[in-house]
A and B are shown apart, each in its own frame.
Chain A
Amino acid sequence: MTERSYVLDGNEAAARIAHLTSEVIAIYPITPSSTMGELADEWSAKGRKNIWGMVPEVIEMQSEAGAAGAVHGSLQAGALTTTFTASQGLLLKLPNMFKIAGELTPAVFHIAARTLATHALSIFGDHSDVMAARTTGFALLASSSVQEAQDMAMIAHMSTLKARVPFLHFFDGFRTSHEVNKIDLLQEDEVRSLIDDDLVVAHRSRALNPDRPVIRGTAQNPDVFFQAREACNLYYEAAPGIVQQSMDRFAALTGRRYSLFWYSGAPDAERVLVQMGSGVGASREAVAKLVAAGEKVGLVTVRLYRPFDTQAFVKALPKTVRSIAVLDRTKEPGAIGEPLYQDVVTALVEAWPEGMPAPRVIGGRYGLSSKEYTPAMAKAALDELRAPQPKRHFTVGIVDDVTRLSLKWDPAFDTEAEGVTRAVFYGLGADGTVGATKNTVKIIGENTDLHAQGYFVYDSKKSGAITVSHLRFGPKPIESTYLIDRADFIACHQFEFMEKLDVLALARPGATFLLNSPYGPDEVWDKLPREAQETILARKLRFYVVDALAVAQQAGLAGRINTVTQACFFAISGILPREEAIAKIKDAIRKTYGKRGESVLTRNFAAVDASLAALREVVLPGRADSRLVRRPTVARAAPDFVQRVTAMMLDGKGDLLPVSAMPVDGTFPTGTTQWEKRSIAQEIPIWDETICTQCAICPLVCPHAAIRMNVFTAEEMKRAPAGFKAVPWARKDGGALDGMMYSLQVAPDDCTGCGICVDVCPTRSKTEVKHKAINMAPKLDHLDAERVNYDFYLSLPEVRPPMDSIDGLRGSQLRQPLFEYSGACSGCGETPYLKLLSQLYGDHLMVANATGCSSIYGGNLPSTPWSQNAAGQGPAWANSLFEDNAEFGLGMRLALDAQRDLAQMLVRALRVQIGDPLATELLDSPQDNDEQIRLQRERVKRLKAILPALPSPEAGRLLAVADSLVVRSVWIIGGDGWAYDIGYGGLDHVLASGRNVNILVLDTEVYSNTGGQASKSTQRGAVAKFAAAGKASGKKDLGMIAMAYGNVYVAQVAMGANPVQTVRTFQEAASWDGPSLIIAYSHCIAHGIDMTTGMSHQRDLVKSGYLTLYHHDPRLGMGGADQPLKLDSRKPTLQLEQIAMKEGRYAMLAQSDPARSKQLMKTAQHDANARWQLYEQLAGVHRVVSEDGRADAATGAAAAPAAPAAAGDNKPAATPAQEPTK
């Protein structure tokens, strides 16, 4: 251990060098590179300086395209400039990258390489993004480890200044960007000494400067463009040499030697792998083991991929090489082979010494989207080279039973060094396991001579998410870039996992097992499922229990078990002497949490001290006779695909699925969350039917569709299980529901226990005020009964009273949600809107969904909450990208309209054959409500029955588009990051199109999915990432911008503040035959609120003027009869600050910088007052919206521009303020 030893992840390692060597940094969040931008922003916010003593200017842009533009401009003006990105973000930067390279501008882009979205999005790592950038003219420099992420970052920043070629420095997303490992940290003075000031001066001297003006970015004609393009050649020829010089200079300073192509293995190797990125860690281990066993194998690690130095490559190969397997972490469908393979083949053709037999080359793909790549797979590739007829192109790491390209590998091939301790921890996303295990790696890595590595695996849920931490400790540097498959230590931090997961699968014989258990050493055995008992006995595990929850509770750390389990790990694992370990844990706690206050430390220290006393070893009874067995993953009733495919993924066995199990085009069935039954709630709502007023608010606000209401006949009740509760429908208004029974039912295994339903329940007991019409109760007390009840409930038919026969709120909630049981955060503020949408229009709904939270809980495998009704109808959903969602949705509308127009034309053409009145009805029937749509569906069904028998070819064409005669509701959905920032240009264009699309913005005022970065929707004074000092500017008024068009239906809603208005605006937006925009305020975990009170907090926000509810309906302005803008909330009665301070994002600024907070809050209050005043005035304005403003989608005509507001009208420009509707 030296003072230079630090434990950090690849992102931090690279970002630190970037921040030290840059003056301007333009950022935009995208997984897995967001951390680099966040750190740069945080460091600059704290005043951390670069090597020239200046604080780098960090600016968040509206998109990666914007960031690239800003970088380009900054470089042109002479600043040392950098940026960070990945995947789609890199694609958005490509145009500027061509320019930056074309202008020979030194710059470094740091990339956490991530899969490009193709048949599906993936946030995980491979080289498809950087490979897409290989034609830009950027140099591509690859790091394969955390240490290299720092070192190559340095070498890139050194080299670019001299080479003038810009650099794309990349490392594998997650595997390197998120792996924590012990590295030798470059000291600031070292960084300083490696950057040549004269090169910096040269860069500045080339900058645009009016004192010596030049012009750049000209347009060139055929006469000179080509020559000018060739003029850069010398620089590209020189670049590899410059990089090698930088590497040599770096080695002289640090002792770490690198080369463009690095060979390791037998000096007389005959079979050689060529690879770049993190996979070389696994390959190197395989090669070392095989060499030790006498095999003649080797590995070439590619570092500088572009410009590709063929001579250096050939020089790196041993002269004895007979065959080469090139491993690419990307896929180029249709290419002869993947890019690295092709380059290797070309390099050999061009540079292999003449007269010598050139080695045979085969190419393989591995590791797409962070697929595991292990030493066994490297061995499989090397083994393939030995085959008489090796596959020229192969894959490794999957089972391809379709094109049979995949190699078999031997999972028993183990290369891990002696003396490495391997530990695996199973935790819940919220329990601090990942944080604590990261801390453990730091403690050991930074305080002992041991090397340490940590890697963390998450599932795709945001509530009840399971995390698995893989930790290695050993005397030598740890380069095992793959998951642990044989653990010496297993910790399970949540007792419930025992019933759901095979947590002991990875335990090696004799391993230690630590279980966080509410049951003591004498009771716990019988509470384990039999499978676990058998494994413990068969593998002779040492078994410990600790009641971490109780210890944490006692210490005042409710729910945070991480400190306890960490102390227990140290106590049992013996990696450090116990006393020393305890002292180090406390040091680490002080270091990590010290700034947060004394009581945080005191309580954590208390937890550490109490942990060891609570730790108990279990004496194994020697019998595995538990009556508990692990539950089957999905019910037997699940459809075939769910049984075969989805269940495997749910089980964590998706890696075993062969190619043939996968749809070829990324198409998956909907309605799959219903089979998960995650059962993550501790408490669930229980209905007290005796006091319920049947107001329908609780099912409306339930984020998970886990509390539902329905009406049914007394006859149905006869089938009900004994415990099923129902009461007569209370709204006796002479409607169709009079005399029916009503029930409110919880889905006990789907509820996440957020408690929002109880918080919003307005009905209280007369004798005990805390008792409401629904109340949270321990799940286990009710689970069995409620399971039976819910099964019965689901068997009840959907009555679906016409929406105009009942108030909108109740009417909507009597409809089946076709968005259910999402994995969104417990208490999510977004999902209730989607559920409502699915209830209103689900059976004829098309959704274009921007990338973000809603695309993750909406469409991340294994399951989707978008569902189907009994007739098999339901929302059809697709995600294109983050930036283009409005356009994507508009495209859907255009296609639907085109097909409908075609269908109508064909119906007219075939009128005689089809016969009337069917043809006329098909063409002219209104489809404004459920019943009309149902009748139209019937007609289409009849039409489809007639058409096959008709002889005309038109009949066949009509059959293909007949469904489009049924109306489709197109909704374009996304978050504020999309609508306000990256997708705004498209959104604006779609609003201007006049087309009948509905845009729903789930406005959390922050980039929620990537961890809370500020967007232009973020309000003044809120702390967010990229706005660590509190956002100084106010929230963009998107609604006002949209209203300016005149013919756009615009509404601002907050379900918790005014549910009736929310339901009504959804209906009005849907029925407006033109563009609609609903900005739906959504509380979010990123606000730092108690999520249970999210909805009631919305009410307070509206009362404080933080939000103004309104709707702007162009129909009201037509003919000048009325004012299109109506306010739907009352004049604010509360102080903004008073309510804002209930949110952590505002309170933390008040705490850390009270003066700034006060100032910003004062301005925010001013914003709110001004906004209210402005809206109040506008609500009194008569504005004439031209009848032509209504989109004529049927003819495809673009909307005419809206008539100017009242000007020229005889009516007064303003009338007294409109009384807000309630």
Chain B
Amino acid sequence: MSVDLRTRYLGLELKHPIVASASPLTSSIDSLKRLEAAGVAAVVLPSLFEEQIEHEEMATHNLMLAGAELSPEAHGFFPEMQNYRTGPDQYLELIADAKKALSVPVIASLNGHTPGGWTTIARQLQDAGADAIELNVYFLAASVDDTSAEVEQRYVDLVQSVTRQVSLPVAVKVAPYFSAMANMAARLTKAGASGLVLFNRFLQPDIVLEDLEVSPHLVLSTSDELRLALRWIAILRGRVDASLGATGGAHTPEDVLKLLLAGADCVMLASSLLTKGPRHIGTMMRGVEDWMAEREYASVAQMKGSLSQQSCPDPDAFERANYMKTLQSYTSEFV
């Protein structure tokens, strides 16, 4: 019996739920082609960081000015270039090239920095041919003066401003650190988000003992991290009118199945593809398909959300009781 693996995410028809999340693998046409050849259903390009663009533009500018007119013998130290290709140019070319090279949907990802930047660049991503936009939002509210309400409002305003400017479906990739995650999800959806991607992972600072330096870097995810997304997808499925993408911690077919059961519309992979290569997509899909066939599921649509909080026999299990139970199961070993 063949299983219908198709799923809809952000209004896009995907041939199955496995999507390549933003990673170095989605940053070049060569590796994007390899992902497609390996059967990926859609790709999310690496995030375009507005702050980085600004930084690069100013760095180029300052470079050209450095030492300029310092002495009568040197106007400056670098030749004027034909084109500095600062700004989003390279990224926009990547979108256009990816659209030409691939038949699967191409989702552009944006991390803005200024209100104007989010909207202007989002429009450029749309014009470059992206099929959807993922807003990779992260404000680190490190100021003791910023209240949670203000931070939350910033998210809402931002999503609203972008969704008003573009006609493409917009997904919002968020971190799990909201006091009221469910409420936030609802507000983001209301502000125009067509989908939520749960959850974002960021560079985390580390301390290098040898040099006594702080070094931010990204650690690849493990299956253990899956639980957080699993919980919130299960809770949000049916409660918000948005596609739900799961990201962070899906490494095995079992991980994918769990997320689909909880209610994910698609499952995004990065760490597992980086460690195992694009061909891992095939392994994952075969595992998912085999399991579904064995259990006689007809389609992903049928299975999707069947164990969400609303559909599961024990809704409390996704809330606090779940925590208590886990705790008990641990302590019992030593008591």
Contact = CB atoms under 8 A, between A and B. Distances in A.
A46 interface: yes
B63 A1154 contact: no
B96 to A, nearest CB: 15
A1024 B63 CA distance: 12
Interface stretch (B12-20, B65-73, B161-169, B190-198): B65-73
A1151 B61 CA distance: 13
B221 to A, nearest CB: 24
B54 interface: yes
Contact of B80 (A32, A42, A1009, A1024): A42
A1147 B84 CA distance: 11
A42 B79 CA distance: 7
Interface in B61-89: 61, 63-87
A600 B90 contact: no
Given A1148-B63, A1151-B60, A1154-B90, A595 B69 contact: no
A1012 interface: yes
A600 B61 contact: yes
Most A CB contacts (10 A, CB to CB) among B54, B73, B76, B86 go to B73
Given A42-B79, A1088-B78, A1152-B81, A599 B71 contact: no
A560 interface: yes
A596 B79 CA distance: 13
B78 A1148 contact: yes
B85 A1152 contact: yes
Nearest to B81: A1152
Contact of B78 (A461, A856, A1144): A1144
Contacts of A462: 70-71
B84 A1152 contact: yes
A357 interface: no
Nearest to B70: A429
A1088 B77 contact: yes
B90 A1023 contact: no
A1025 B77 CA distance: 7
A825 B73 CA distance: 14
B82 A46 contact: yes
Interface stretch (A33-41, A320-328, A613-621): A33-41
Majority-rule SS of B interface residues: loop
Contacts of B60: 596-597, 600, 1144, 1148, 1151
Given A432-B65, A556-B58, A596 B78 contact: no
A596 B61 contact: yes
B100 to A, nearest CB: 16
A66 interface: no
Contacts of B53: 597, 599
Contacts, number: 153
A1012 B68 CA distance: 11
A123 to B, nearest CB: 6
A600 B70 contact: no
Nearest to A769: B212
Given A429-B69, A465-B71, A1144-B63, A1151 B79 contact: no
Contact of B76 (A825, A1011, A1145): A1011
B4 interface: no
Nearest to B121: A598
B59 interface: yes
Interface in A462-483: 462, 465, 467
A764 interface: yes
A772 to B, nearest CB: 11
Contacts of B66: 430, 1085, 1088, 1144
A856 B74 CA distance: 13
Contacts of B290: none
Contacts of A45: 79, 82
Contacts of B84: 595-597, 1148, 1151-1152
Contacts of A984: none
A434 B58 CA distance: 20
B241 interface: no
B75 A599 contact: no
A432 B56 contact: no
B152 interface: no
A1010 interface: yes
Interface residues of B, number: 35
A263 B69 CA distance: 38
Contacts of A456: 69, 72
A38 B57 contact: no
Given A34-B73, A1011-B73, A597 B78 contact: no
A712 B212 CA distance: 34
Contact of A596 (B68, B71, B86): B86
A659 B172 CA distance: 78
A123 B72 contact: yes
A1012 B77 contact: yes
A1011 B77 contact: yes
B74 A1151 contact: no
Most B CB contacts (10 A, CB to CB) among A46, A465, A1011 go to A1011
A1024 B74 CA distance: 13
Contacts of B77: 1006, 1008, 1011-1012, 1025, 1085-1086, 1088
A856 B81 CA distance: 29
A764 B68 contact: no
A548 B90 CA distance: 35
Contacts of B81: 595, 1023, 1028, 1148, 1152
Contact of A1028 (B56, B59, B71, B79): B79
Contacts of B70: 429-430, 458, 462, 465, 825, 1085
A1009 B73 contact: yes
Interface string A176-204: 00100000000000000000000000000
A52 interface: no
A970 B72 CA distance: 31
Interface string A1118-1147: 000000000000000000000000001101
Contacts of B57: 596-600
A45 B65 CA distance: 21
A35 B72 contact: no
A1144 B80 contact: no
Nearest to A604: B61
A764 B73 CA distance: 41
Contacts of A1204: none
A535 B212 CA distance: 56
B333 to A, nearest CB: 41
A456 B68 CA distance: 13
Interface string A287-299: 0000000000000
Nearest to B64: A596
Contacts of B82: 45-47, 1152
B56 A1151 contact: yes
A595 B75 contact: no
Most B CB contacts (10 A, CB to CB) among A467, A603, A1025 go to A1025
Contact of B67 (A35, A41, A430): A430
Contacts of B73: 31-32, 34, 123, 856, 1009-1011
A1138 to B, nearest CB: 14
Nearest to A48: B82
Interface in A68-126: 123-124
Nearest to A1151: B85
A32 B73 CA distance: 7
Query: Which 4 pairs of residues, A with B, have the shortest CB-CB distance?
Result: A597-B57, A1011-B74, A1012-B77, A597-B86
21 contacts: A31-B73, A38-B79, A429-B71, A432-B65, A432-B68, A456-B72, A560-B65, A596-B86, A600-B60, A856-B71, A1011-B74, A1023-B81, A1024-B79, A1086-B67, A1088-B77, A1144-B60, A1148-B60, A1148-B63, A1151-B90, A1152-B85, A1154-B85
Interface of B: 53-54, 56-61, 63-87, 90, 212
Given A600-B57, A1025-B79, A1151-B90, 16 more contacts: A123-B73, A178-B72, A429-B71, A430-B70, A432-B65, A456-B69, A596-B84, A597-B87, A769-B212, A1009-B73, A1011-B77, A1012-B76, A1024-B78, A1027-B79, A1144-B78, A1148-B84
